Amino acid sequence: MKKALLTLAIATLALSTASFAANKFYAITNEDNPNGNTATVFVSTAGGPITVSQTLTTGGTGIGGGYFANNRLTAQSNGKCLFVSDAGTEDIAAFTGTYTGGTLTFNTTPTRTPSGGFSSSFGIGLAETPQNDMLFASLDNNEQIAIFTIGSGCKLTAVGTVPENDFVGPLAVTQDGKVLLVSGPNNGYINSWTINHTAHTLTQLGSPLVLGGISSCSSVGCFPTGLDTAKVNGGMTTVVAGNATLSGPYYITATLNESTGLSNGNTFNITGTTLANIESPWYGSAAHDDLGTGWIYMAAAGFGTGEPAGVSVNKVTATAISSAATGSFVDTAAFYASNAQSTGHQSNQKTEYLWQSGVSSSLDNTMNLYKVSTAGAITSVQTLPDPNGAGQTFVLTLIAFPGRHGSN
């Protein structure tokens, strides 16, 4: 049973670690408001209060719905550019910014560029290369991926499209910037494209990984949603995807070979949690950057009464993911929840902080800050109402700034 629909976008930035206690960490949301869209910048220090730093008006409109896991904004690690998609007006708003002395500030007048799509139903997903030279956008009803170059002043220039075979949404770029990954939730596949940074093109990498052949998918269904990857090691990395099913808290894994493509698809049930609709995985810094012991956070979008939203904390050891939840947090106030992200480099066995937003039954949105102990226990630090998300929209996807080890 597919539950990838009924979403909005958010971008979150956040977290801090004990070693960065004096620094500011940010979370940015895309309210996806069909009555005039905004991106809200939240700020906190490690374990400190959450406040609103800025409200950015995009000049376009959202759609107030779509894929839960669609990453509808992205920020460069140096803070120079923030890109926010407007699915209602089919454009991408670019905000220039500065990040000096630990303070992030954006120019409030954006430049808007047409996405190249039409009549978006599920939102415009975005992914940027860590080299900050290319941006990709999912054009759902077109069943295409749009390619943009990024120029001076965050100027976007459309340079082409490639075809997909689904109403695509969630995107991810590998940590080395060599491969773009794409989820096809409805047709049950994950696709990979080689990125050419000179010609600014995408080339199909192997064949799409169709998950219908996995035995467990015949009973629970495999509908890949949000994507994340571990650090690339020798041209190889683990790909983790959410699974939009209410049959249980399932996630999907695969192996990416940057020369040949995707293989070894599998799905796993998370034990020790009551969470539902696992949509968005996110590797903690140690698990992502060091290929060592750390955490992966499985954000559960939930699906209303009886289908809890929140976050599961799962242990990672040398890229192997435990399917048993070490910690689990249920957002009892939320009917739905966003993805979750941490930020800053986090060495082994240190406290991490995590951002996630929640949506109540009355569609009031909140920004939540969680603390993850060295033992993997997760607790709430603070919840702050989103002043631009009161009873009008869903805020369901996030990004973090500074990003994980300097990249998002």
**How confident is the model over 84-104, as a mean pLDDT?**
96
**How confident is the model over 187-209, as a mean pLDDT?**
97
Burial class (CB in 10 A: 0-12, 13-18, 19+), 318: exposed
Where does the pLDDT of residue 121 fall: very low under 50, low under 70, confident under 90, or very high at 90 and above?
very high
Residue indicated by tokens 């940010």: 26
- Closest by alpha carbon to 301, among 309, 312, 311? 309
pLDDT tens by residue, 367-405: 999 988 889 999 999 999 999 998 778 898 888 898 775
- Closest by alpha carbon to 146, among 121, 184, 180? 180
pLDDT at 219: 80
Inter-residue contact 378 to 368 (CB < 8 Å): no
Question: What's the CA gap between 383 and 367, in Å, rounded?
Answer: 6
Question: What's the CA gap between 67 and 374, in Å, rounded?
Answer: 33
Q: How far is CA 386 from CA 76, 103, 203, 301, 357, in A?
A: 23, 21, 40, 18, 9
Three-class SS state of 301: coil
* 116 φψ region: left (φ > 0), alpha (ψ -120 to 50), beta (else): left
Domains of the chain listed by start with CATH number:
18-401 (2.130.10.10)
pTM over 0.85: yes
- Partnered with residue 71 across adjacent β-strands are none
Residues 327/236/269/375 CA torsion (nearest 10 deg): -10
pLDDT at 346: 52
pLDDT tens by residue, 253-293: 999 999 999 999 999 999 999 999 999 999 988 888 776 77
pLDDT at 318: 83
pLDDT at 91 over 60: yes
Inter-residue contact 378 to 372 (CB < 8 Å): yes
**How confident is the model over 182-203, as a mean pLDDT?**
97
Question: What's the CA gap between 115 and 262, in Å, rounded?
Answer: 28
Question: What's the CA gap between 188 and 248, in Å, rounded?
Answer: 17
Question: What's the CA gap between 117 and 5, in Å, rounded?
Answer: 19
pLDDT tens by residue, 6-37: 433 323 333 333 334 347 889 999 999 999 99
Take residue 213 and report the two structure tokens written for it. Answer: 């052949």
Neighbours of 107 (CB within 10 A): 15
Question: What's the CA gap between 382 and 7, in Å, rounded?
Answer: 24
Which of 188-202, 218-232, 283-297 shows the highest mean pLDDT?
188-202
pLDDT at 17: 32
pLDDT tens by residue, 122-173: 999 999 999 999 999 999 999 999 999 999 999 999 999 999 999 998 999 9
Question: What's the CA gap between 236 and 265, in Å, rounded?
Answer: 14
Q: How far is CA 87 from CA 31, 103, 124, 254, in A?
A: 11, 29, 6, 30
